[in-house]
C-alpha cells in the first residue's frame, strides 16, 4: 500500500476585534493627498467613493490594551483547541506579521523578543524544541508560513506547526491619509501537520515571487500627509494605483504556476481564497486567472469575501476568511472534504504567493 505524506490543516482559529469602525466615523476627518494638499469635497462623498472602489463598509480595530502578540495567541489557542492537540507537541511556531507589538499612543514597533516567542510564552509551551520565529513577507506572510511549514514537514524536520497571521494596522495608520480606512486588525491561526495517508490531500503545490526593482517601495513607511506633521514619525503608506496594476498583472500568472504544478484542472477549483485587499482588485485578479484557462465562472460563487465588514488586516485576512467559512459564518459559502482550494496573496515587497490545497 502506497502512503502519501500529506501536509494538512487540522485546526483553525481566528480573533476578530470587537471594536467596529464604520465608514461614517471618518465623515468629519480632514484628509490630505501625498503632496499635503487637502482633499476637497464633503466627507460623505469621500467615503462613498472609497466604498465604491474598495467595497469596505467597516473595519475592526483592537482595543487600547491589546497588542498583536495577544490577539495572535488568542487565535492560536482556538486553532489548538479545534485540532485537539497538546501544544507541547508543536515543533514550530511561525508568526507572520510586519510591525510587531505597538503600544497604543506610540508609533514604535517592538520586535524584541519576536512575536512568535511572545505567543509561545503566552501559551506557556515549555518544550524547548518548539522553535518560534517571525516571518515578515508583507500581506502574503501567512501563506508563506504555510509554504515553509510544508517544506519543513517534507524535509522531516517537523511534524506539526502552528502558523499564525496577526496584525494591528490601526497602530500604524496616518489618520490624515484616506488609506486609513482600508486597514484593520485581526489574527488567524492554523495547525499544520504531516500525516501519512492513503489518499493525496492537503497542500498539493505552491508558487512564490518577489519583484523588488521598481516595485519594492509600493508600500513603505513615510511621514503623515498632514502639512505640519513631524517627518521623524512614520506611518504605513501605499501607492494604491501601482499596487492595483501590479496585482492584476502579476498575481494571476503566479496562481497559474501553482495550479499547473498541481496537475489539477482550473475548472475543478471549488473556492479561491484571496487576500482581502480591495474588492474590485480581487474580482479582477480572479477573472484574469480564469481567462488564462478560457473559463468565465461566476466570481461571487468561487470567491468568498469578508472585506466589506472586516477591512484589510494584512496577513490575517486569508486565515480569518478560511476559519469563518469552515465554522459556518459565511452562509453563502461552504468548504467540504475533498474540495480543491486556491489560496493567493499579494503585498509589500512586492511579494506574491499561491497554494493549491485539497480539503
Domains of the chain from N-terminus onward:
4-197 (3.40.47.10), 202-358 (3.40.47.10)
Beta strands in the chain (DSSP E): 4-15, 19-22, 58-61, 92-96, 131-135, 160-168, 185-197, 202-210, 219-223, 234-238, 269-274, 340-347, 351-358
Give the strand pairing for 185-197 and 4-15: antiparallel
Residue pLDDT tens, the chain, 359 long? 789 999 999 999 999 999 999 999 999 899 999 999 998 887 888 889 899 989 999 999 999 999 999 999 999 999 999 999 999 999 999 999 999 999 888 878 888 999 999 999 999 999 999 999 999 999 999 999 999 999 999 999 999 999 999 999 999 999 999 999 999 999 999 999 999 999 999 999 999 999 999 999 999 999 999 999 999 999 999 999 999 999 999 999 999 999 999 999 999 999 999 999 999 999 999 999 999 999 999 999 999 999 999 999 999 999 999 999 999 999 899 999 999 999 999 999 999 999 999 99
Provide φ and ψ at 144, rounded to 5°. -65, -35
CA distances from 260 to 33, 188, 301 (A): 42, 28, 22
CB within 8 Å of 62: residues ≥ 6 apart: 17, 19, 71, 168, 170, 185
Residues in the chain: 359
Per the structure block, which three cell numbers stand in for 118? 511572545
CA of residue 249 relative to chain centroid, distance: 20
Provide φ and ψ at 133, rounded to 5°. -150, 160
CB within 8 Å of 213: residues ≥ 6 apart: none
CA distances from 33 to 37, 99, 181 (A): 5, 24, 14
Distance (Å, rounded) from C-alpha 349 to C-alpha 354? 15
Amino acid at each position: 500500500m502506497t502512503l502519501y505524506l500529506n501536509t494538512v490543516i487540522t485546526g483553525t482559529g481566528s480573533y476578530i476585534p470587537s471594536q467596529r469602525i464604520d465608514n461614517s466615523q471618518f465623515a468629519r476627518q480632514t484628509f490630505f493627498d501625498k503632496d499635503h494638499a487637502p482633499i476637497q469635497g464633503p466627507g460623505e462623498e469621500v467615503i462613498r467613493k472609497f466604498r465604491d472602489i474598495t467595497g469596505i463598509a467597516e473595519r475592526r480595530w483592537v482595543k487600547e490594551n491589546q497588542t498583536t502578540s495577544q490577539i495572535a495567541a488568542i487565535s492560536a489557542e482556538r486553532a489548538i483547541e479545534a485540532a485537539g492537540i497538546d501544544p507541547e507537541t508543536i515543533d514550530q511556531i511561525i508568526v507572520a506579521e510586519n510591525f510587531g507589538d505597538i503600544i497604543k499612543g506610540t508609533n514604535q514597533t517592538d520586535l524584541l523578543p519576536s512575536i512568535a516567542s511572545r505567543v509561545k510564552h503566552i501559551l506557556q509551551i515549555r518544550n524547548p524544541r518548539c522553535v518560534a520565529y517571525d516571518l515578515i513577507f508583507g500581506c502574503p506572510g501567512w501563506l508563506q508560513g504555510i509554504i515553509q511549514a510544508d517544506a519543513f514537514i517534507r524535509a522531516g524536520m517537523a511534524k506539526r506547526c502552528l502558523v499564525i497571521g496577526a496584525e494591528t494596522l490601526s497602530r500604524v495608520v496616518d489618520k490624515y491619509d484616506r488609506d486609513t480606512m482600508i486597514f484593520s486588525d485581526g489574527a488567524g491561526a492554523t495547525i499544520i501537520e504531516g500525516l501519512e495517508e492513503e489518499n493525496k490531500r492537503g497542500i498539493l503545490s505552491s508558487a512564490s515571487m518577489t519583484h523588488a526593482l521598481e516595485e519594492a517601495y509600493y508600500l513603505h513607511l513615510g511621514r503623515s500627509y498632514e502639512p505640519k506633521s513631524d517627518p521623524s514619525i512614520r506611518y504605513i503608506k501605499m501607492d494604491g494605483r501601482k499596487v492595483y496594476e501590479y496585482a492584476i498583472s502579476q498575481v494571476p500568472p503566479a496562481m497559474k504556476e501553482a495550479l499547473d504544478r498541481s496537475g489539477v484542472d482550473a475548472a475543478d477549483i471549488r473556492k479561491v481564497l484571496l487576500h482581502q485587499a480591495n474588492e474590485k482588485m480581487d474580482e479582477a485578479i480572479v477573472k484574469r486567472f480564469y481567462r488564462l484557462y478560457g473559463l468565465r465562472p461566476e466570481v461571487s460563487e468561487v470567491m468568498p469575501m469578508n472585506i466589506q465588514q472586516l477591512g484589510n488586516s494584512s496577513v490575517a485576512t486569508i486565515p480569518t476568511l478560511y476559519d469563518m467559512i469552515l465554522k459556518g459564518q459565511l452562509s453563502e459559502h461552504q468548504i467540504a472534504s475533498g474540495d480543491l482550494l486556491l489560496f493567493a496573496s499579494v503585498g509589500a515587497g512586492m511579494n506574491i504567493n499561491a497554494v493549491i490545497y485539497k480539503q
